[in-house]
Structure 1
Amino acid sequence: MASKDKDSAQKPAASKKPSTAQEGKDAKAQRELGIVGPHGDMRLASVIIEGYSLELSDGEGYVGDVASRTAFRHMLDAWRKLYASMEGKDPMGTKPTRELSKHKLDALLEKDGVAAQAIEAASEDYAMQLAHVVQRFLKHKTWRGVERIIIGGGFHQSEVGGRAIDCTRKILKAEKVPVELRTLRHHADEGGLIGWGHLAPPALLQSYDAILAVDIGGTNVRCGIVQTHLHRAPDLSLAEVVRREKWAHANDEPRRDELVEGIATLLEGLIAYAEKKKIRLAPYIGVACPGLIVEDGSLAGGTQNLPGNWESTRFHLPRDLCERLPHIGDGRTQVCLHNDAVVQGLSEMPFMQDVERWAVLTVGTGLGNASYTNRQPPEFE
């Protein structure tokens, strides 16, 4: 793999084969391997995670499904067909909607023609659906009192997505919904990595320069070195990704275990990079993925966009990844697991101190979500 400071879209080579793992390892054996979390921790020093992966039914499916990136493309596809029937030809050409990149859609939007009209119509449809989702979520007990919502995922980083979110703000304001919408301040490929600074053990962060983090999505995997800069900003507001790798795994259609091996290979490259640059890495890897995280590191649902069965009792992502990795430094490497929306939202925590309740919606293959309550310092609790 070529060495790059920016994203790499190539498929990782196979990592070294894992040793045979005994099923049903007891807690002591797992602790020795460094794979005991706590995974999916809901109470942190500065914030309580009220809930995540909320699935509200609308009678025909889940409410969040209508506001995903996939849903937007279905809306755009419908408008393309309508304009094609009126104009006698497809205004966007012959390429399927799913293959049109954000950059291509932005370019079509700038031309201000029939294609732009179709995109704008789809954006308005999407905004109405997103506003509906926000209002439904705000009625749920884990979202009541939320004052601010962060929109994450890569959708907002395009002109098309930005316009749709602006339209959503206007709809919510018109309907007098008392909530503020903001977009993720970090790059979408980095927010889901930086958030691990708030989940890693504080004592560990004090002793090292950086940690490794992984963000597994239905389309892409992102791995990076997160430098905390804790000595300059104890609230982690200056944390940054100093190197990252990205694998568009959906294009390669790997099996589940091939995906895990690919992630291990990416991490091995980052470990080597840190050694070369003399970055002191903590023996800790934070892994964010879709779904419900069980305390023992297993997954209990919400992984339908990942290849293979991630909820099998014979599959344990932290263990399987740990077995494929070399030690970092002198100690055992610990792999910790949490939900991807939770982690992306936590990257915003230093900038959410002026509100008590806040939440995140991540627009991707699906619609991730999480809600939080800031904790007062112990003397005021």
Structure 2
Amino acid sequence: MMNKIKDVNDFNFKNKIALVRVDFNVPIDNYGNITDDTRIKYSIPTIKKIIYDGGKIVLISHFGRPKGIPSKKYSIKFLIPILSKILKRSVQFCENCIGKYVEEKIFKLKNGDVLLLENLRFHKSEEKEDNKFSFELSKYADIYVNDAFGTSHRIHSSIITVPKLFKNKKCIGFLMKKEIYNLDKFLSKRSKKPITIILGGAKISSKINVIEKFIDFANYILIGGKMSYPFISMINNKNTDDINIKLKKSITNILYKNKKKNIIILPEDVVLSKNINNINHIKITSINSIPKKWEKLDIGPNSITNFFKIINKSKTILWNGPMGKFEIPKFSRGTMSIAKKISEITIKKNIYSIVGGGDSLYALKQQKCINNISYLSTGGGAMLEYLKNKTLPGIKIIYS
């Protein structure tokens, strides 16, 4: 795949306007500080290449879910200082992403200038395949560059419809190239065994297809977090009324295959709370004897030990999703332990590790071991989608 798709090295951007779709949907804390700038840092080589060529850059991105309503809360103007600092030049900003004011700003750009347009999702048309909106976004640019891996699984205007308007003047950036290379490496026969996939988080619906696909590929699949409980309910044939028919079918198929393979490892014990705000209302119990009205908030110590045994003998590891409600310190031990262990074994035994998803990256950062991982993916959902289909809609469109 990497030999066929055009990237920024296939173009000379001198005197050209590049419309660069980046994914600056970065996590921020309550004070507006960026808690993980991986996506911004990974996009810089693409921007610098265009600057070096003598091109003009128009950056477009979404941020949050403003649902088509402009607001100060979701403005991406806060990115200007960090971009200006990293690029060592004054990055310009425009209060909209389409319209006459945008046209005037673009018209005044000089070679080497960088202009960031306002949040694409201030327009409802961004989250559709809207031809008119796409034309307005694209009409002054010469070349389209997609460097937004984390959003390329979405059928949105800036990802799907805009590139169609550029015919053969479209390509991927270095961030996207890096993602494809590393995920293809993981999927290839070059992956050293044992291969372990660790999945957590709450949304089982977005990960069930990945489990179905990888039960024939991985040596171990460790499942933690909220998404592990439907599996446990199905095994014990308890509390299955809340599981929809489609999901039940998928879990049944996975468990049937697992009888022969025995590669799926589920939590044995769990940290519970009756009142999330009261530290006295916490206990650890077997996964099979959870009392009613107690909430499952982290994997327990026996589960951590079992997961560690598998991680210790792994030579390739992929991790996506927390083991519990890790943003509350009382329930962070499972997630933080996994983060630290993957980091340790990557360095100690020189294994190949990939971690993707905002929560997992945040846990690594909290443990001060984010730089020990072999590859940090800028997409959570996009990474899983790519692993499932070996491509994404935003990548496929660059070929056409």
TM norm structure 1: 0.29
TM norm structure 2: 0.28
Q: Bigger relative contact order, structure 1 or 2, given CA contacts below 8 A and separation 6+?
A: 1
Larger radius of gyration: 2
Higher relative helix content: 2
